Structure 1
């Protein structure tokens, strides 16, 4: 039954996460002599798979939510330097050396022709202002797009977790009714023999 149930739909989301069909009639999917425990385990396994994917997507979302403001700040600073290229002003700013260590610097925007950007994994590269602007704008657009995709996946997973939980409850209720009917049939058979 379980292979038949999960093969009922070829529907997936654009990232290939399979959809779970809703069981409108349990009798259409389960035979009377089906191994209830095996079926219930398959349903629980599918729910756990969805929950694992949900946890992974939530982690990705948290990472993107932390990354986007950093990219936005860097892009804002590059834009600010580009806007002040013709100015003779000197900018005094505080910048972070370490997690809790800040220092001051004076920047002459007219002389600042490039910036150094952290690319991750302790790698820093120097970029001309224009290239830095393009790179950061691309990274920001990609991160925002990825965040939207993760949001879609999370919604899809939540819907499928709910569907599987409802299916599991319906399967359990079907088994309760089946057992009651079996018990009543056995009692009726006993009473007829007496």
Structure 2
């Protein structure tokens, strides 16, 4: 406190409090991103499993019965004919049709990226907490 340039104790405490609030805000953002990534990774892996199943079933001529989500806790039965195309929801009201192989490659890349991002967020949180 006795160093030149320091003002009163109140103003110095206020500066320290502002820095602490910035750190807490950064920590909150990192925790939210980490939580989102932890939810995305299993979802992407589940979609990859579905694509593997679809790839096996496309060799057969009979349709595959499935249930899909319409709304929260509301599912509908559907018969899906053998097909080599899938539509992936990319977000922001965008859906794109892919071949199953292309969709698998894209989703595998997304899982790898999400895993790297999750590891990075965990390292950032550890650094911030230290």
Measured in 2, the distance between the counterparts of 1:37 and 1:141 equals 48
* Count of residue correspondences: 128
- Spell out the pairing of 1:151-170 with structure 2 (5 A cutoff): 151-159=122-130
Answer with 1 or 2: which has the greater Rg: 1
The TM-score with structure 2 as length reference comes to 0.86
RMSD of the TM alignment (CA)?
A: 1.9
Match of 2:93 in 1: 122
Match of 1:52 in 2: 25
Match of 2:40 in 1: 67
Unaligned segments of structure 1, at least 5 residues: 1-29, 160-194
Question: 54, 60, 63: which one pairs with 1:81?
Answer: 54
**Residue 86 of structure 2 contacts residue 103 of structure 2 at CA under 8 Å; is this kept in 1?**
yes
> Secondary structure at 1:116's aligned position in 2?
strand
Moved over 3 A (4+): 87-90
The TM-score with structure 1 as length reference comes to 0.60
Q: How many angstroms does 1:48 deviate by?
A: 1.1
The answer to whether the aligner puts 1:133 opposite 2:104 as a matched pair is yes
Unaligned segments of structure 2, at least 5 residues: none
Measured in 2, the distance between the counterparts of 1:54 and 1:65 equals 16
**Residue 57 of structure 2 contacts residue 64 of structure 2 at CA under 8 Å; is this kept in 1?**
no
- Which structure shows the bigger proportion of residues in strand conformation? 2
Q: How many angstroms does 1:40 deviate by?
A: 2.0
Q: How many angstroms does 1:77 deviate by?
A: 0.6
